[in-house]
Structure 1
C-alpha cells in the first residue's frame, strides 16, 4: 500500500468520527438549558418576543430538520452567523478576528514544551541517577501536577508584584507591557511595516512575544512535564536495546550512536504526546485565555457557550474536531516516517 493510499484510507475512516462528534455537539447545544432568545432579549423577556426570535432562528422547527440543516451547513462550510456575541456577523469572520491570538499562544506554548521538555528528558535519560537526572525528573513531576488555572493565577500574581518580590519590574522588562492583556499582533496584519518601519515593527514583535510568554508557559506546562518524563524513560529503554549494544561493539562513536540510533527511536513514544498538544490548546486555552484576558478562540468559545450563541459554538466545535482528527492522521503518518518498522498494511 502506498503512502497516498494509506492517507486516503485514513481520511475515509475519519469521516464517521467527524459525523459522530458533530452529532454529539448538536445534541448538547440543542437539548441543553441554553436559550438564545433569553440571551438576546435579556431577563424576563416578553413571551411573544421569544416566539418571534425562535421562529426567526428556526428553533421552532422539528429537531430532526434542525439536525440535518446543522450537519449540511457544517459539511458544506456554510457556517452561518453569530446570534448573540456579534449578531449578524458571519461565524468565520468572527473566528478569524480572534484566531491570531490563539495561534500565537499555541505556537509559543508548543515551542516552549518542545524546546524545554524533550531536551531535558533526553539529557536526564543519558545521565541517569545523577543530580541533573533527579532535578529534571522532579521538575517534570511538578510541572505535570500543577493545574493550569492554579498556575495561571499564581503567575499573574507573581509577575504583577515582581518589583516588590524580586526587585525588578516584569512590566518594564525590555518593553513596557501589562501582565494581563491581549498581545498586539498589528505587525502580523501589516507585515509591510517590517520594511517601512522596522524598528517599530520589531518592537511590536518583542512586545507581543513578552505578552504571550507567561500564558504560553502555563498552557505548555503539562505537556512539558509529560515530555520530560516520557523522553527520559524512552532514552533509558533505547540505550539498553540490543542494536545499540551491537553498534557499541562495532565501534560506532558515541556521538553518532546517540544521534543516529538512540534519539530517533526515543522519539517514537513522544509522537502522540506532541500531537496531543492540540487537546491542551483546545481545552486549556479556555481557562488560560480567561485568566490572562487574551481575547482568543478559547475566550470566544467560553462566551459563546455561556450566552447561548449556538451557531458559533457549533462552528468552533466542528473546527476543533477537524483539528484533532487531522492531527491524529498526521500522527499516524509520522509513525511511518520515524519508525521504518511500522508499515501501512497493518494499520
Structure 2
C-alpha cells in the first residue's frame, strides 16, 4: 500500500467519527434542556418574536430536515452565529478574533516541553543513577502531580509577591517590558507586513518588521500561562524520554555499533536518539489535545481571551451553537493530528508498515 493510499484510508476511517460528533452536537442543541429561542430572547420574549426566530432558525421544520441542514452547514464551515455571548456574530469571525491568542499560548506551551523536557529526559537516560538523573526524575514526578488549575493559582501568587524584590530578587512587574498586570491578553500586533506577493487566493509576505518591545511584552504575559499549560507535557516527555533512552542504549544494534568501533557521539545521535523519539511521538502530538482541554482552564485563570475561554463562557452561559461549533472545530484538529501522527510513524520508524 502506498503512502497516499494509506492517507486516504485514514481519512475515510475518520468520517464516521466526525459524523458521530456532529450527531451528538445536534442532539444536545435540539433535544437538550436549553431552548434556543429562550436563550436568545430571554424569559420575557414575546410570542410573536419567539415564533419569528423559530422560523428563522428552521426549528419548525421536521427533525430529519433540521439534521441534514445542520450537518451540511458544519461540513461547509457555515458554523452559524452566537446566541448569547456575541449575538448575531458569525462563529468563524469569533475564531479568527480569539484564535491567534490561543495559538500564541500553544506555541510557547509546546516549545517549552520540547526544549526542556526531552533534553532532560535524554540526559537522565544517558546518565542513569546519577545525581542529575535523580533530580530530573524527581522534578518530573512533582510537575506531573500538580494539576493545572492549582499550579496556575500558585504561580500567580508567587509572581505577585515579587513586587519590590520578593523571593527571587527581582520584580516581575518591572522585569523587562512593563506590562502593568500579570493577567490579560498578550498584544499580538508586534509584526507588520511591509511587502507581500499576491497569488490570487493567498498572499505570501516577503517583508516583515517587528516591534521588539511589543514582542517582549507578548512573551512576558504569555510565559506564566505557557509554563502551566506545558508542565504536564514537560514531565511526561522527561520520564518517557528517559525510559526510551535506557531501553534503546541496551539494545542489540547499539551493542553491534559499539563492536564496530563507532564513536559514542555517532552511536548516540544516529542510533539512540532517533529510536528514542518513536515512543515520544504520540506524547508530542498529544500536546495539542492538552491545549484544547487545558487552555480552557489556563485561559480562564490568566484572563486570556482565547478560544479556550470563549468555549468556557459559551458552555456556562448556554450559548450552545457557539460551544457546539467550537467542539466541531476541536474535533477536526484532533482527527487531523491523529492522521499526521500515523504518517510520522511511518517516516520515523521504517519498521511500521502501512498495512499495520
Is the shorter-chain TM-score for this pair beyond 0.5, marking a shared fold? yes
Q: Look up the match of 1:228.
A: 238
Residue pair 1:34, 1:307 contacting (<8 A) in 2 also: no
Residue pair 1:149, 1:287 contacting (<8 A) in 2 also: yes
For 2:49 and 2:109, the matched residues in 1 are separated by: 45
Q: How far 1:192 moved relative to its partner? A: 3.6
Q: How far 1:60 moved relative to its partner? A: 4.0
Q: Look up the match of 2:82.
A: 82
Alignment map for 1:1-347 (pairs within 5 Å): 1-43=1-43, 45-46=45-46, 49-163=49-163, 165-166=166-167, 167-177=169-179, 178-188=181-191, 190-192=192-194, 201-346=211-356
In structure 2, the residue corresponding to 1:77 is in which secondary structure? coil
For 1:266 and 1:196, the matched residues in 2 are separated by: 39
Q: Which runs of 5+ in 2 are unaligned?
A: 196-205
1:282-316 CA-partner distances (Å, limit 9, x unpaired): 10000100000000000111122222223222221
Q: How far 1:196 moved relative to its partner? A: 11
For 2:353 and 2:135, the matched residues in 1 are separated by: 38
In structure 2, the residue corresponding to 1:186 is in which secondary structure? coil
Higher strand share: 2
Q: How far 1:115 moved relative to its partner? A: 0.8
For 2:330 and 2:55, the matched residues in 1 are separated by: 29
1:67-93 CA-partner distances (Å, limit 9, x unpaired): 221111111222222222222222111
Residue pair 1:36, 1:307 contacting (<8 A) in 2 also: no
Q: How far 1:320 moved relative to its partner? A: 0.6
More RCO (CA 8 Å, sep 6+): 1
In structure 2, the residue corresponding to 1:269 is in which secondary structure? coil
Higher helix share: 1
Q: How large is the RMSD of aligned CA atoms in angstroms?
A: 2.2
Q: How far 1:9 moved relative to its partner? A: 1.4
Residue pair 2:29, 2:321 contacting (<8 A) in 1 also: no
Residue pair 2:194, 2:209 contacting (<8 A) in 1 also: no
For 1:65 and 1:309, the matched residues in 2 are separated by: 22
For 1:86 and 1:116, the matched residues in 2 are separated by: 39
TM norm structure 1:
0.93
Total equivalences in the alignment:
344
Residue pair 1:179, 1:211 contacting (<8 A) in 2 also: yes
For 1:34 and 1:153, the matched residues in 2 are separated by: 33
The structure-2 alpha-carbon separation of the partners of 1:253 and 1:85, relative to structure 1 and needing over 3 Å to count, comes to: same
In structure 2, the residue corresponding to 1:191 is in which secondary structure? strand
The structure-2 alpha-carbon separation of the partners of 1:341 and 1:92, relative to structure 1 and needing over 3 Å to count, comes to: same
Q: How far 1:29 moved relative to its partner? A: 3.4
In structure 1, the residue corresponding to 2:305 is in which secondary structure? coil
The structure-2 alpha-carbon separation of the partners of 1:31 and 1:134, relative to structure 1 and needing over 3 Å to count, comes to: farther
Q: How far 1:40 moved relative to its partner? A: 2.8
Q: How far 1:30 moved relative to its partner? A: 3.2
Residue pair 1:36, 1:84 contacting (<8 A) in 2 also: no
In structure 2, the residue corresponding to 1:268 is in which secondary structure? coil
1:5-36 CA-partner distances (Å, limit 9, x unpaired): 21111111111111112222222333333333
TM norm structure 2:
0.91
For 1:219 and 1:304, the matched residues in 2 are separated by: 21
